[in-house]
Amino acid sequence: ERTVSALSLNGHPLEWYKINDVVMGGHSCSELRVAASGALDFSGVISTRDGGFASCTTIEQPLGLPSNTSAFHVSVTTDGQLYKLTLKVSESVWEPVWQADLPAASLVPSKRHDLLLPISAFRASRMGSTVEGATLEPSRILSVGINLALIDARGNPNLHFRDGPFAISVHALAAHAPAPSASPPMPAPMARSPSPADVMRPR
């Protein structure tokens, strides 16, 4: 599969490729390209017959994200459909994929949105089914992706999903971790009160 070089995540250049529902007998199609601005453009045509998803993801590589990563920032322009940001922690299909719906602001089409997705918003999914009790470890994240599908990140029907063309542009990606708190200043040593022996000692 041909890859497209676009964007970076915390200093790591990203290589993208597409995965559509044809892997499950569906008929959706998509393409990736890099805009003149450097944004990643992901577009295509969704068919809900015998399938119903289109996605793109980055080649798996250690991204070196700190374990205390608290959120992802993503800057996008959409067509008004509900997309998901996806995270993978393993190349194995048996490991859950983590998904979070882009915030509702992204449903306003043709406008650039700067969105913040807390780590707590991501839900584990395996083969289209939610996985309960899993814990996302940010330091294990190997890839990020964009997904448009007939179900949302919580496993509910995607009410904005439809047959026909789709398009989303990803302008920027970043992972955020809280800054280490500064150590409080050490208190100044208290002056020692003179003892009776000090007072009576001859000068």
All domains of the chain in start order, with CATH = 4-179 (2.60.120.430)
Confidence of residue 199 (pLDDT cuts 50, 70, 90): very low
Tell me which residue of 79, 56, 46 sits closest to 165, measured CA to CA.
Answer: 46
pLDDT at 200 exceeding the cut of 70: no
- Look at residue 107 in the predicted model and tell me its pLDDT: 94
Give the whole-number percent of the chain exceeding pLDDT 90: 72
Q: pTM of the full predicted structure?
A: 0.85
Mean pLDDT in the chain?
A: 89
- What's the average model confidence in pLDDT over 140-161? 94
DSSP notation for 23-52? GGT---EEEEEE-TTSPEEEEEEE--TT--
CA distances from 123 to 65, 112, 186 (A): 19, 25, 43
- Look at residue 53 in the predicted model and tell me its pLDDT: 92
Go through 101-119 and write b for each residue having 16 or more CB atoms within 10 A of its CB, e for each that does not. Answer: bbeeebeeeeeebebebeb
Q: What is the pLDDT of residues 16-66, one digit of tens each?
A: 999 998 877 788 999 999 999 999 999 999 998 877 899 999 999 999 999
Q: What is the pLDDT of residues 93-142, one digit of tens each?
A: 788 999 999 999 999 999 999 999 999 999 999 877 789 889 999 999 99
Q: Nearest 5°: phi and psi at 154?
A: -90, 5
- What's the average model confidence in pLDDT over 167-179? 94
